[in-house]
Amino acid sequence: MKFLIWAFLLFTNISIAQSDKQFVSDFLLEDELTSGNLLSQYEQFDFSNVWNKTPNEVIYGIIGEDHQRIRIKLLSINKNTENPNEYHVYGKSMVKETVCDFFGTITIKKVKEVKELHFGVDDEYKNNGIKKQGILIAEYSFDENAQQKHSGIFKGNLYSKWYFNKNDKMEYDDIQSISDSYTNNAFIGIWKSYSTDKEKVCNWADWRVPNANQDFDIGAGEFSVSEKYWKKGWLDIALKNQAPNGAIVREKSDKKMKEWWE
């Protein structure tokens, strides 16, 4: 019996490692990484700019096996002056009509560079002075306000692509964003309820949802959700995809629409 338990745990760990390796390969598109962890060489730089660039309307997330839509907005990201690899985060989450505040941390664990720089279609960025490119792998833990309804904790791993520009500043790497499979800032983990201790899969990222069911995202050139999931908060995406090129015209107004996190 002990041998069977040991064998099962070994097989599970190998499967998780292979799954993680496959995700990173897909995440990088055609890039290859150099060996070694360069974390200590990048501690002096501020990565917060990498996590707050993308418009919120193209940050897509799921919670639970039924892929209920979750929206996440990081409102404040500040580097910890006492720990160069840790960032203090404040943000909000929304599931259906429930909005919760959360506070937490992003802690960078690995920084890796790509072997060969990429410059986009027709080398569009070749003369922009890009010095380095790579990914970071971090752990995140966000605690929702326990006084609010349906609150809990988000935990998992974060994968982000960055580049180092000519001004020695970290930038969000969207150079390959024209690619059909492009995504960035992939948060992959769980949400755990305060009241029940029940855990749910919870993943979100820019432009695509990471590690979703194979039948969830049926889009090729852009994110598109299968009809099976529309009732889980994705109907607006379906309507947008069915009426492209401005076919739906909204009435113009000088009044600014209030965002869900405001």
| Residuewise pLDDT in 10s, the chain (262 residues) | 545 444 443 443 433 344 466 788 789 877 889 989 999 999 999 999 999 999 999 999 999 999 999 999 999 999 999 999 999 999 999 999 999 999 999 999 999 999 999 888 878 888 888 999 999 999 999 999 999 999 999 999 999 999 999 998 999 999 998 888 899 999 999 999 999 999 999 999 999 999 999 999 998 888 999 999 999 999 999 887 765 555 555 555 566 789 999 9
pLDDT, position 8: 41
Residue 6, both tokens: 């040991």
pLDDT, position 222: 87
The answer to whether 67 and 46 have CB atoms below 8 angstroms apart is: no
How far is 180 from 133, CA to CA, in rounded Å? 20
How far is 117 from 32, CA to CA, in rounded Å? 10
Q: ∠ at Cα 148 (107, 65), nearest 5°?
A: 65
- Nearest residue to 132 via CA among 164, 160, 174, 161: 164
How far is 154 from 169, CA to CA, in rounded Å? 29
Q: Is 217 helix (H, G, I), strand (E, B) or coil?
A: strand
pLDDT, position 20: 62
Residue 79 bridge partners (DSSP): 87
pLDDT, position 250: 55
pLDDT, position 254: 65
The answer to whether 70 and 61 have CB atoms below 8 angstroms apart is: yes
**φ, ψ dihedrals at 21, nearest 5°:** -65, -40
The answer to whether 110 and 39 have CB atoms below 8 angstroms apart is: yes
Length of the chain: 262
Measure the CA dihedral 80/208/62/74, to 10°: 30
Which residues, in sequence order, are CB contacts of 220 under 8 Å at separation 6+?
180
